[in-house]
């Protein structure tokens, strides 16, 4: 009961406490004068009446003492709270302005003097709205009206300095509530100049970092300790097809591993890879496969370096990678060049050693006379095989030393037609139909006609030999206006070539035919490359082969 009364007394204001004490004293005195003293007992016993008066006096004195102590303590608490509030108000680094409901300035603190540069704004300027930079006036007025109705507001606006320039600030409007009524608004202004300068510096550094990241030719991306991407440069976009927005915050499984047919990521071993990259030591992987957005892979060399905070805490990893497709292609070309050099040296020696006795054998074979049909058959077989040896020797000689080329402008259509006429009998014997689709307006090319014809003969002979059961050999020649290359395609319906063998075509001594040497196709590649073009072979086993030869044009299309 006493604790309840104590709590109720604490909640009373100073005025209510004094009024309650006076009312209690008057009540006690009234009870004594009008209720107790008129009683017969107290009339007949004056001592009892005196004792009652003394008791009431002591009670009132004790109550007055206690009340005075409570009032003094309450006054001290109020004074302390007032001083605390005044200290907070006066020494707060932000500018604080006490405003009326009409936006009149009632009081300010020292922070407002430093922020806006005036000493006594309440005297020199009576309205907050006159301090607002004109572009922010309507916005500030709107937020003030909302705050004056009881809702705090937070926004940015510029206020005019005493010297006339605008000061960007972060503004907070808080309603001032007294006895449950809104009597004004507090305006708290935080200087944003230093913050804006820091933000500009951060933005500048961010742009510089982005410029550096996007200017390098290597792909660079960063991941945090959970394996999620935190930055991704333009080179990484170009190499993988993944855009920045698609990769930020995502895991790297889609890059490191291909997607399954169901759309899920093949996460096996990915965790190990992430764990390896998140070690605190840099590591270099000389050769690996990264995967593009379209599901295709490309060979890369990459280095992972840890990102460490100043206290040594691991923040993530930076991965720098580069596409080594061209490097591998160059290595293959170097190996192929070494092979060609060795073949050339070997071919020169073999051709020299074989050609002389071969000439003698062919000469003496001509002198031999056949005395019977059987001997005649043997001589024909020997002559045919000697002819084949001579053909191989000539191919060796073509490989071993450069041939003199005479470039003149020619139409590819004419070369194709003459080649078709040459091989037409062989095609008819094998039940093969040769169909040509040649654009009559094809531009001319600068070429050695005999060498280009040799290439066409080799390609067509390979196609005819591949169609053992007959079929159609289609020859197309076309030119696209936006393309500076003339394309000739040979499409057969032969047995085709497996995907494992396609990359090896053109290498010396590699052939898909039982009695082939591989030199013919190698010579074709060299001739086309010498003409500034390229040859591409596409094939599917059991469906056929397409050989596309591209040659640079030297004139506009024939009208």
> Model confidence over 37-47: pLDDT tens digits?
677 766 677 77
Residue 196: half-sphere exposure toward Cβ, Cα within 13 Å: 10
The answer to whether 95 and 109 are in contact (CB under 8 A) is yes
CA angle, 395 as apex, 392 and 396 as ends, to 5°? Answer: 90
Q: Would you state the pLDDT for residue 288?
A: 84
The answer to whether 471 and 432 are in contact (CB under 8 A) is yes
Can you state the angle between helices 449-466 and 412-429, rounded to 10 degrees?
30
Q: Do domains 329-399 and 408-552 have the same CATH topology?
A: no
Token pair for 449:
């006609």
Residues of the chain with pLDDT > 70, as a percent, come to 76
Can you state the angle between helices 449-466 and 519-530, rounded to 10 degrees?
140
CA distance 119 to 111: 10
Q: Would you state the pLDDT for residue 174?
A: 93
This model's pTM is above 0.85: no
CA distance 551 to 530: 10
Mean pLDDT of 418-439: 86
> Model confidence over 6-54: pLDDT tens digits?
555 555 665 666 677 667 777 777 776 777 667 776 667 777 777 777 7
Token pair for 374:
């059987």
Write the CB contacts of 165 (distance below 8 Å, at least 6 apart in sequence): none
Q: In CATH, what is the architecture of 408-552?
A: 2-Layer Sandwich (3.30)
All structural domains of the chain with their residue ranges: 14-87, 92-196, 202-323, 329-399, 408-552
CA distance 447 to 414: 13
The answer to whether 193 and 167 are in contact (CB under 8 A) is yes
Q: Would you state the pLDDT for residue 146?
A: 93
Nearest in space to 325 (alpha carbons), one of 301, 302, 298, 303? 298
DSSP state of 258: P
pLDDT at 175 over 90: yes
Four-residue CA torsion sign, 181, 183, 185, 186: negative
The answer to whether 544 and 481 are in contact (CB under 8 A) is no
DSSP state of 22: H
Q: Would you state the pLDDT for residue 272?
A: 46
CATH code for residues 92-196: 3.30.450.20
The answer to whether 152 and 130 are in contact (CB under 8 A) is no
Q: Report the relative pairing of strands 534-540 and 544-552 from DSSP bridges.
A: antiparallel
pLDDT at 550 over 60: yes
Write the CB contacts of 113 (distance below 8 Å, at least 6 apart in sequence): 119
Residue 405 or residue 136, greater confidence: 136
Of the given ranges (244-258, 283-297, 476-490, 518-532), which has the lowest mean pLDDT? Answer: 244-258
Is CATH 3.30.70.360 the right assignment for the domain spanning 202-323? Answer: no
pLDDT at 262 over 50: no
Q: In CATH, what is the architecture of 329-399?
A: Orthogonal Bundle (1.10)
Of the given ranges (234-238, 386-390, 437-441, 541-545), which has the lowest mean pLDDT? Answer: 386-390
pLDDT at 374 over 80: no
pLDDT at 542 over 80: yes
Write the CB contacts of 269 (distance below 8 Å, at least 6 apart in sequence): 257
Mean pLDDT of 219-247: 85
Token pair for 499:
């995907």
DSSP state of 519: H
pLDDT at 263 over 50: no
> Model confidence over 472-487: pLDDT tens digits?
999 998 887 677 888 9
């Amino acid at each position: 009961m006493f604790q309840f009364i104590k709590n109720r007394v604490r909640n009373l204001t100073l005025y209510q406490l004094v009024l309650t004490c006076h009312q209690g004293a008057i009540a006690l005195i009234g009870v004594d004068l009008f209720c107790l003293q008129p009683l017969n007992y107290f009339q007949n016993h004056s001592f009892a009446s005196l004792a009652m008066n003394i008791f009431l006096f002591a009670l009132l004195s004790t109550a007055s003492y206690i009340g005075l102590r409570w009032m003094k303590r309450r006054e001290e608490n109020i004074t302390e709270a007032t001083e605390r509030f005044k200290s907070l108000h006066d020494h707060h680094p932000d500018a604080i302005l006490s405003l009326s409901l009409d936006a009149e300035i009632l009081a300010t603190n020292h922070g407002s003097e430093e922020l806006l540069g005036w000493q006594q704004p309440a005297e020199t300027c009576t309205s907050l709205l006159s301090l607002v930079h004109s572009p922010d006036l309507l916005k500030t007025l709107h937020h003030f009206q909302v705050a004056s109705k009881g809702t705090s507001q937070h926004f940015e606006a510029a206020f005019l300095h005493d010297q006339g320039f605008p000061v960007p600030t972060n503004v907070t409007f808080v309603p001032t509530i007294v006895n449950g009524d809104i009597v004004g608004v507090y305006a708290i202004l935080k200087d944003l100049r230093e913050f804006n300068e820091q933000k500009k510096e951060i933005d500048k550094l961010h742009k510089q970092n982005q410029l550096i990241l996007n200017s390098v030719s290597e792909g660079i991306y960063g991941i945090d300790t959970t394996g999620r991407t935190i930055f991704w440069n333009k080179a990484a976009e170009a190499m993988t097809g993944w855009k920045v927005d698609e990769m930020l915050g995502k895991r790297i499984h889609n890059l490191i591993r291909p997607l399954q047919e169901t759309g899920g990521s093949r996460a096996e071993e990915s965790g190990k890879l992430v764990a390896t990259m998140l070690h605190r030591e840099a590591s270099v992987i000389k050769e690996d496969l990264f995967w593009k957005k379209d599901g295709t892979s490309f060979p890369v060399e990459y280095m992972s370096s840890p990102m460490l905070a100043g206290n040594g805490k691991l923040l993530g990893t930076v991965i720098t990678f580069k596409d080594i497709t061209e490097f591998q292609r160059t290595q293959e070309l170097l190996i192929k060049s070494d092979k060609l050099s060795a073949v050339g040296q070997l071919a020169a020696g073999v051709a020299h050693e074989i050609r002389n006795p071969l000439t003698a054998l062919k000469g003496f074979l001509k002198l031999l006379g056949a005395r019977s049909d059987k001997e005649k058959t043997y001589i024909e077989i020997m002559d045919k095989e000697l002819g084949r040896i001579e053909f191989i020797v000539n191919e060796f000689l073509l490989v071993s030393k450069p041939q003199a080329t005479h470039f003149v402008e020619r139409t590819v259509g004419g070369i194709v037609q003459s080649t078709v006429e040459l091989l037409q009998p062989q095609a008819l014997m094998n039940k093969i139909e040769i169909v040509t689709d040649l654009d009559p307006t094809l531009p001319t090319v600068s070429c050695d006609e005999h060498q280009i014809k040799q290439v066409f003969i080799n390609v067509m002979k390979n196609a005819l030999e591949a169609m053992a059961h007959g079929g159609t050999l289609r020859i197309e020649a076309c030119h696209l206006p936006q393309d500076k290359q003339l394309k000739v395609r040979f499409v057969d319906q032969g047995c085709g070539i497996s995907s494992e063998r396609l990359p090896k075509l053109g290498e010396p001594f590699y052939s898909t035919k039982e009695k082939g040497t591989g030199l013919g196709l190698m010579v074709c590649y060299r001739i086309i490359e010498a003409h500034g073009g390229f040859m591409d072979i596409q094939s599917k086993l059991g469906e056929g082969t397409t050989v596309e030869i591209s040659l640079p044009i030297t004139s506009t299309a024939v009208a």
